[in-house]
Chains A and B, each alone.
Chain A
Amino acid sequence: MPSSSRPAVTEPRTDGAPAAGPATAAESSEPRHVKRGGTIWSRRPTAVRRAILLVGLLVLWQAYITLRDVSPLVFAAPLDVAEALVDGIRDGRLIDASVVTLRVLGIGMLIGMAVAAILTTLATWTRIGQDILVLLTSMLNPLPAIAILPLAILWFGLNQTALVFVIANAVTWPIAINVSMGFRTVPATIMMVGRNLGLRGVRMVRDVLAPAALPHTITGLKTGWAFGWRTIIAAELVFGVAGSGGGLGFFINDARFFLRIPEVFAGLVTIALIGIALESVFNLIERRTVIKWGMKSVEAQD
């Protein structure tokens, strides 16, 4: 939880010298790159270090397969994977599969967010609402979301609705827990300031509570999304084709069935890449908001 542990009153910082004091305090918001002596390695930028490692791994992978003559039915070489990836994108199959998966995830998340919003609202305003939320989250959050897939199939049949239901269930609880925690830990002083300005009802929520709870809300969305993403892929692997076309999980399973091993890898790479992309969108949102406002430290960003 990003900011719940922050004390209600920040430690008293003193002004220091009138000219230099406040100015230096403000400069600290800029990311400072501490010049550690370090090795040549540790002085490279993070992106460069990671790129070198990635290329190294790929070279090792390719070398292993070329030199040891591994059966292409077991393990695909990076170059073959790259080719399968390009082909999959070019003929649209990978794109279609990604769209199917992301669509189910998106619908599931929207439903999950709506349910979480209702539960959180009830939990914030009423005692019984809070009890219900605590009870439901403590029961359903530890349950791996994929475990209710058989029930979902039983209730909704072999269709997308079952998947959406599973995803909605996966994302609702982490979002609800975090948002309600965010609302309950809004500093008392900031609430009093809001009331002092005569803010009430919707405006109080929009202008004070919601922004004050934003660090928790983003954390909830990040966690919820990550849960949902893992669950949808797992569900698709079990589920196979749904409706008109299959998602990424189906793509992988299908490729395995027809022994198109490079495609299996291409599917995995796609899942990882989409994951990284969505994760960085959330990180960007955090940097533009709660980190910029000092409500969450850069170090706390996961």
Chain B
Amino acid sequence: MNDAPHGAATEALLLTVDHVELGYPVDGELSIAVGDASFDIRKGEKMMLLGPSGCGKSTILKAIAGFMKPSRGTITVAGRTKLEPGPDRAVVFQEFDQLFPWRTVLDNVAYPLRVTGTDKEQATEQARRFVEMMGLSHVTDRYPHQLSGGMKQRVAIARAFALDPLMLLMDEPFGALDAQTRSRLQKELNDIAERTPVTLLFVTHSIQEALVLGDRITLLSHPPSTVLEVVDVTEIHDPDTEEFIHMRRHLRELLADEGEDVDHAVFE
């Protein structure tokens, strides 16, 4: 984490989100979720997308994953702007039912590798490696319904890492977990990311989570959202330090201000 090379100004940009507008059709009209968002992610960087609920952070992630197209602006991933869904941008969802119920833990991780053309033996071997890395060795032959929520998310993370993607997209993967499991999985994610360098876009509404996991944080406003601030928190991971507490207060104030502004605007 601390040795992440993002400090170098020459580091290549892997993702550019450039004046992107995103919306959903509601009654034939486009309901704008993201008004004008711009930020970028360098290779090997862990970018947190932080904002109040409903601010369109997941929408941005879906657009990068190729599930929807921006109505304005461009998203560029490794030089490409035409984005179809693909395993080069592996997604970890919040929902526990993202695993295939009819496949065992090991097979849930190995199957995507076979889809992307790895031969069976090698896929199994690689899957086993990541299953072990996520501490799931004792449940390789179990089916998802036999696992707790935390275990299911571990499998989903192992599956995404095993694909060795260009970038990893995580959509509040710990959002449905209890606080204790949540902080344990945050630590495990940091550990596996340290061993397996990855470019990460992580959507969260938890300031704490963003600070613990992130290199940088992109802070979004209420919808139609814009980027309020992009902060570098590479050196700020330990919750007990002064900097952490200070930064957390700063982000909280920004978000609170944002809330008031929007309420005000609505009433006018």
Contact = CB atoms under 8 A, between A and B. Distances in A.
Instruction: Using C-beta atoms within 8 Å of the partner chain, give the interface range for chain A.
Output: 35 or more
B146 A294 contact: yes
A8 B95 contact: yes
Given A13-B148, A196-B86, A22 B139 contact: yes
B109 to A, nearest CB: 12
B250 interface: no
Interface stretch (B4-12, B21-29, B178-186, B193-201): B178-186
Given A15-B148, A15-B178, A292-B143, 19 more contacts: A8-B97, A9-B96, A10-B96, A12-B149, A15-B184, A21-B148, A22-B147, A25-B146, A187-B97, A192-B85, A192-B93, A195-B67, A196-B91, A198-B85, A198-B86, A211-B100, A211-B102, A289-B102, A295-B102
A244 interface: no
B116 interface: yes
A294 B145 CA distance: 5
Interface in A188-205: 189-190, 192-193, 195-199, 203
Interface string A5-25: 000111011111000011101
A295 B112 CA distance: 21
A91 to B, nearest CB: 46
User: Lowest 4 A-B CB distances belong to which pairs?
Assistant: A294-B145, A15-B150, A26-B146, A195-B85
Nearest to A10: B96
A214 interface: yes
Contacts of B95: 8-9, 187, 189
Nearest to B165: A196
A137 B98 CA distance: 32
Contacts, number: 110
Interface in A265-302: 289, 292-295
A203 B143 CA distance: 22
B102 A293 contact: yes
B67 A190 contact: no
B30 interface: no
Nearest to B143: A293
B201 to A, nearest CB: 14
B73 interface: no
B98 A190 contact: yes
Contacts of A28: 146
10 contacts: A12-B149, A14-B148, A25-B147, A192-B85, A195-B85, A196-B90, A198-B115, A211-B102, A214-B102, A295-B102
A29 interface: yes
Contacts of A199: 115
B110 interface: no
Contacts of A197: 87, 112, 115-116
Contacts of A208: 100
B144 interface: yes
B246 interface: no
A10 B150 CA distance: 12
Contacts of B116: 197-198
B177 interface: yes
B187 to A, nearest CB: 12
B256 interface: no
Contacts of A25: 146-148
B65 interface: yes
A293 B145 contact: yes
A14 B102 CA distance: 22
A28 B142 CA distance: 12
Given A14-B148, A16-B148, A196 B115 contact: no
Interface in B179-224: 180-181, 184
Given A9-B176, A193-B93, A196-B90, A29 B98 contact: no
A70 to B, nearest CB: 54
Contacts of B144: 294
Contacts of B85: 192, 195-196, 198
B97 A9 contact: yes
Contacts of B145: 29, 293-295
Contacts of A16: 148
B101 interface: yes
B177 A14 contact: yes
B87 A15 contact: no
A22 B102 CA distance: 19
A14 B97 contact: no
Interface in B73-98: 84-87, 89-91, 93, 95-98
A37 B84 CA distance: 60
Contacts of A15: 148-151, 177-178, 180-181, 184
